Structure 1
Amino acid sequence: MAFAAGNMKSLFVITQHGADSVVDLLPTILAKTDLRVAGVAFLTWRPARPRQLGHTVLDRIRIYGIRAWAIRQVLGLWGRVRLPLRAYRLRATLKAHAIPWFTIDDVNDPKFLDHVRRLGPDCVLCIFALQRFGPELLSIPRIGCINLHLAHLPECRGLHSSFWNLYNGERESGVSIHFMNGRWDAGPIIAERRFPISPGETVHSLDRKKLEILPSLLSETLDALMEDRVIPREHDPQRGAYYSVPSYQALVCFRKERGGRWL
């Protein structure tokens, strides 16, 4: 898939409903006063398939340990209270900037694709949307679709990267922004920032480090796209691995056998 050159003037955002990071990244996008945000689409959560393992309280205590499990319960409750407030803040900001937003169930729905096509964005930004972009969506923006990925590429593609970084005993991690080409995290890299994994790192602390890096990396990427100085770097997905949701066995092994910590 070819990615067009040219100064980016308009951007369309697709994100996951309830993704906290959108609230934190929106100021970075809105700070680019020469960039028009054509719209924001919130992708609804699809019901998860029932799990055979890992769904009881005892299972979860085995996975996290009793202390981390208890803290996660409190954080989960706080998150449920906080979510409507952050959603209200986000939508108020969009309204204040006259940015249209709407909710979708499928990024590849023909009606949604027609809507994006009418808006005519130069670029589509994917912020943690959990659906694969089909060929038609990828072909709509003049410059291309770009994705934010919380890991270094090509070594760590897929989901739950901080968990897998620590599970595998890796010495470094990172954050990447890349063009999308229809395969998970396999498109040319636009920008990347790597850092060493500190001794005693936890899944939570590693996630936080990545999210703290993301706004500045996104800002630099948007500037480069607007000024037409992006030089995409191809990478070989075969050099790395694709990781999915950890199995129950891997989750238990992480804490009990590999000494991993969540919090």
Structure 2
Amino acid sequence: MRYLVTGASGGFGGYALDWLLKIAPDDDIVGLVRNPDKAGDVESKGAEARIGDYSDIDSLTRSFEGIDRLLFVSGAPGNRQQEHTNVVEAAKKCGISFIAYTSFAHADLVHNMLSEDHVFTEAKIVQSGIAHTFLRNNWYLENETTLLKHALETGQLVYMAGEATVGWALKREYAEAAARVLIAGNQPKVMELSANPTRYSELAQALEAATGKAIDAVDMDETQFAEALRDEVPEPAIQGMIGTQQLIAHGDLEVQSSDFALALGHSLVGLEDAVKELVRSRHLL
């Protein structure tokens, strides 16, 4: 059985590759990288490196030869639907028997700026006839790095989401779940990977407990939120953060599910410890 992880030199793919190397024979593991200069990063870990670009179906077809199971890490927004189509078509052509795809929380139930491409890709995988599990990832705690850094500098965790909840977990935990599902190959077709639903006010409490710094949770309107971040964050990034806050406020990340622990085979890190790990790894203090 041979396994391939796409985006193996990236954050998520790199974590997943690390986990696969812990739980499967090194000779069975392949990491796909777009940049040939990154091949050494994969090979230094003990996996085989192959070069392939989502925009180049021929490179994908070459890279997928001899692969049984594929961990398909979603690409960056832009031309994602065509690029994802290339991945699925190459997988079909090469006889890949199983795809684990990193999708979005409740992808088939919500309609937002992030879900459309994932709905499209899920449909492509279903149409291909390849056995699959859609890993509907909720929200990486790392996505909140800017807000947490701002909170530690100002004493205020600012947000626009009201009482809406998010299923925050560390990226490495989502990646471990993906690696374990890839190895198992017999999980449900859809897994909603979400930690316990948590409000921003509770995230502020976790940050305070993790760091010993007094943190107030401050729910703002759009104008106030943008103004609070303007000195630290470029305007386009602020607008992206506002869009994210709006979809959270709408309830798009409010998920109740036990699938995460099922995929991992163990419980998730508690929120305070997860925040402490993030603060330390990102040098926020």
Task: Give the structure-1-normalised TM-score.
Answer: 0.39
Structure of higher RCO (CA pairs closer than 8 Å, 6+ residues apart): 1
Task: Give the structure-2-normalised TM-score.
Answer: 0.37
More helix per residue:
2
